[in-house]
Structure 1
Amino acid sequence: MGTPLGDFVRARRDSIQPESLGLPDHGRRRSPGLRRSDLATRAGISVEYLTRLEQGRDRNPSPAVVNALADGLSLAPSEREHLRYLAKITGGACPSHTRPAPPPREVRPSVLDTLRLLEPGIAVVTNRLGDLLAHTGGFATLTEGTGLLDTATGIPNLTRYVFTDARARTFFADWDAVADEQAFDLWLGPSVENAEWFATELAPLAGPEFTRRLHHHRVPPRAALRLNHPSGPQLRLRRETLEVPSHAQQLVVFLPADERTAQALARLTDRSGSHLRAIS
């Protein structure tokens, strides 16, 4: 059985063309990308050890090995951070057959006070599973008519919406990029157990679009968010994310990325009230 760490190393190795690293092309081979022997040489480890890591038979590489693999794969800084995170959770993870306690969904009063100060701006408190725990009236106005805040469980979830609601593909102009972000963020979830359980529940509903992205371990660039608002205009928004580490939550503030978006948002928020919504 593989591990998140092994899956990531193998996925990155398969995505690298040898010539991009100045290595000779050895001709046709059974699988694409960099050979195990080439990566092992670049990282200064044996092919046998690399094979055990990729197959999940070794779950505790030393920090030196993790750094050597990052060097061997020529990882970008964000990918290096992800590799270190996967090494940490792979070494300490153990399968669980019972549903873990849900992550904290109560929002700190001081965070709610901050949301009130942001009205009529657009902001939401969420976690890495995609639960939307509190939001400003501006956020409700922005998403009105999209189905994002419509849920039978009482807790809207962005990840579930992106992968299971057809309206998401219209609302998000760059749906593929948003889907990559939501799948990747599960690896950063409140806990390994929470993320694994949520992914297991979502996979049958979301299908291969979700599972393929979950296991590609692609660190998303998180460019400006483009939304096709039901009222007509396409909006471009920058996202400023502030961590609330004590609750494993994030406060995300959406800001206009251009003047056209700023004018459209002003019209939207002018005709809406400022009604803070907290979900517990």
Structure 2
Amino acid sequence: MRDGTTLGDFLRTRRSRLTPEDVGITSYGARRVPGLRREELAQLAGVSVTYYTRLEQGQSHQASQSVIEALADALQLSEDERAYLHTLARPVPVRSRRPAKPVGARPGTRQLIDALGDVPAVVIGTRTEVLAWNTLGHLLLAGHLDSGAPDRPADRPNLTRMLFLDPHHRDLYPRWETAAACAVASLRMSAGRDKNDRELAELIGELSLNSEEFAGLWSRHPVANHAYGTRQLRHPEVGALTLELETLTLSDGSGHRVLMYSAPEGSPSQAALQLLRMRSTNIERHSGSTTSTT
């Protein structure tokens, strides 16, 4: 994921979605491609066409903050897109980047999610790899997988990979297209922050090769931080659920996040979670009785 190439792709996709009418300028002549021309965007941002062209072609690095802000304003970027543009145009020095190799969830984090017995909770790393989950989180999102898989790096599930390549996980989402778009937009933000992460680049390459849907979404360069909001699920055992996702980003610098799903008090979705919780309790009891007899 070369900085210059990614920056250029992002700028091109964003100027292609705007028309001269959108930004209040007069259009002259036929256009071979949709969107604003380079010279039009440069004029709006108050920079020279030559400078903007070099920036889009990856030939200029460390753009000033004022230029980045001017481009963001001209392109009418969202707050997430604006932050992403800053990470691309002013890359973090290599020495300050986190190690690329993932680590497991801390014991304290595991203890926290286990204490959330009635709340499905999952700990993920910067590549959306599952580092830990509580019993209810496992049964909600991936009951068809071994509950111990997150503890084995070679078998560690990945939420984005499962969404595109695992039919069982994909079937959880009745609005799969929306879920897929959100997942790719979030992964783009991770890629912007961790541009030297070899394993993240390998994941993106794997998904691009094995899923035309992922490749198509990735080429559109979506950027958004979908860390909270309503999630519609269709669970194979307890049926339809409408859950609220909240994400806790840990403050230890690891980039690990805790995903937590909840339902309104007294709602059908809460009843469905309670049914799933009863199953998890039975599983834990059965596991305990099995262990005691061996």
Contact in 2 for aligned 1:177/1:220 (Cα 8 Å):
no
Q: Distance in 1 between matches of 2:82 and 2:106?
A: 32
Deviating 4+ runs (over 6 angstroms) = 148-152
2:238 and 2:276 in contact (8 A); partners too: no
Structure 1 residues 242-257: aligned runs within 5 Å? 242-245=248-251, 246-256=253-263
* Residue 7 of structure 1 pairs with residue 9 of structure 2: yes
Which position in structure 1 is the counterpart of 2:105? 107
**Bigger mean CA deviation after superposition, 101-110 or 55-64:** 101-110
2: CA distance between counterparts of 1:209 and 1:112? 34
Within 2, Cα distance between the matches of 1:230 and 1:157?
A: 20
Counterpart of 2:215 in structure 1 is 211
Whether the 8 Å contact between 1:128 and 1:185 is mirrored in structure 2 is no
Change in Cα spacing, 1:19 to 1:150, as seen in structure 2 (3 Å) is farther
| Offset, 1:72 | 0.9
Matched residue type, 1:139:
G
- The answer to whether the Cα contact below 8 Å between 1:8 and 1:215 also exists between their aligned partners in 2 is no
Contact 2:185–2:225 (CA under 8 A) maintained in structure 1: no
Are residues 1:265 and 2:270 paired?
no
Identify which of 230, 236, 245 aligns with 2:242: 236
Deviations 1:210-247 (A, max 9, x none): 23322423234734111111025211121111112422
Q: Please say if residues 246 and 261 of structure 2, whose CA atoms lie closer than 8 Å, have aligned partners that are also in contact.
A: yes
C-alpha distance in 1 between matches for 2:23 and 2:100: 44
Moved more, 171-180 or 218-227: 218-227
Alpha-carbon distance, 1:53 to partner: 1.4
Query: What displacement does 1:185 show?
Result: 3.0
Q: Percent identity?
A: 33
Unpaired stretches in structure 2, ≥5 consecutive residues: 285-294
Aligned to 1:202: 207
One-letter identity of the residue aligned with 1:219: V
TM value normalised by structure 2: 0.80
Give 1:40 shift: 0.5
- Partner residue in 2 for 1:159: 160
Q: Residue type matched to 2:274 in 1?
A: A
Output the CA distance in 2 between the equivalents of 1:211 and 1:85. Answer: 22
**Separation (CA, whole Å) in 1 of partners of 2:146 and 2:196:** 25
Q: CA deviation at 1:26?
A: 3.0
Match of 1:73 in 2: 75
Give the superposed CA RMSD. 2.7
Is 1:35 paired with 2:37?
yes
Q: Which has the higher contact order (CA 8 A, sep 6+)?
A: 1
Aligned residue in 2 for 1:278: none
Equivalent pair of 1:148/1:161 in contact (CA under 8 Å): no
